[in-house]
Amino acid sequence: MKIFICGDSTAASYTQERYPMTGWGQVLPEFVPGAEVVNAAAAGRSTKSFLSEGRLTAIEREIGPGDLLLVQFGHNDENPLAWRHTDPWTSYMNTLSIFIDTARLYGAVPVLLTPICIRAWKDGVLLPSHDDYPEAVRTLAAQRGVPLIDMYEKSLALVKSLGEEKSRELYMNFPAGMYPTIPEGRQDNAHTRPAGAEAYARMAAEGLREFGLV
């Protein structure tokens, strides 16, 4: 069985030169032994741009019966640039439906994942992120009978439980001098370091097991 991942930078794989940047799709193989993971997630992509660049078409050449197609977008669908942006209740659901239909056409199982939360704390409160996009994914999954892994709610709960300071360890939020690849440090609350990637990959794998897919 192959597991194909369609997504953005939060799931993508990175070279050692980009360390500690690590997407959850990069480490998913550690949590699904016996499956071949094909991580097609790419930084900066929305459902719209992923399709327009032919990235799903490339997957069609490999995907087959019994395979899984994991689909997680949202961060860039929110972007106002016309070539990325989708509306959560119309074009976003429509483009996600193309992934669902494509997987089923080839006998594969589509799995929808809500986007991971952005670590946005204000006055000691973790703020919600992604507006209506997570709820649109939930709605579409229910309408189309697609397995749903609610990564948004799971990640939100984890970040809350860790607290404002401890949750920095999940994300690319660290001071200068900690990593030689980024000596100036970074204040990035959307992308993950290894600890975050591993936590979210574990969530995805647990979700797949709950549905009996792995």
pTM score: 0.96
pLDDT single digits (tens) 10-22: 999 999 999 999 9
Integer CA distances (angstroms), 95 to 78, 88, 166, 197, in order? 14, 10, 36, 26
Choosing from 85, 184, 198, 206, the catalytic residue is 184
pLDDT single digits (tens) 105-159: 999 999 999 999 999 999 999 999 999 999 999 999 999 999 999 999 999 999 9
Residue 210: both structure tokens together? 């709950």
Choosing from 129, 155, 191, 198, the catalytic residue is 191
pLDDT single digits (tens) 174-194: 999 999 999 999 999 999 999
Integer CA distances (angstroms), 212 to 50, 109, 207, 208, in order? 28, 12, 9, 6
Choosing from 9, 13, 46, 49, the catalytic residue is 9
Q: Which domains does the chain have, with CATH numbers?
A: 2-210 (3.40.50.1110)
Count Cβ atoms below 10 Å from residue 113 Cβ, excluding itself.
29
Instruction: Round to whole Å and give the CA distance between 8 and 130.
Output: 14
* Catalytic status, residue 91: no
Instruction: Round to whole Å and give the CA distance between 169 and 98.
Output: 36
* Catalytic status, residue 184: yes
Instruction: Round to whole Å and give the CA distance between 70 and 3.
Output: 7
* Catalytic status, residue 85: no
CA atoms within 13 A on the CB side of 182: 17
* pLDDT category of residue 90 using cuts at 50, 70 and 90: very high
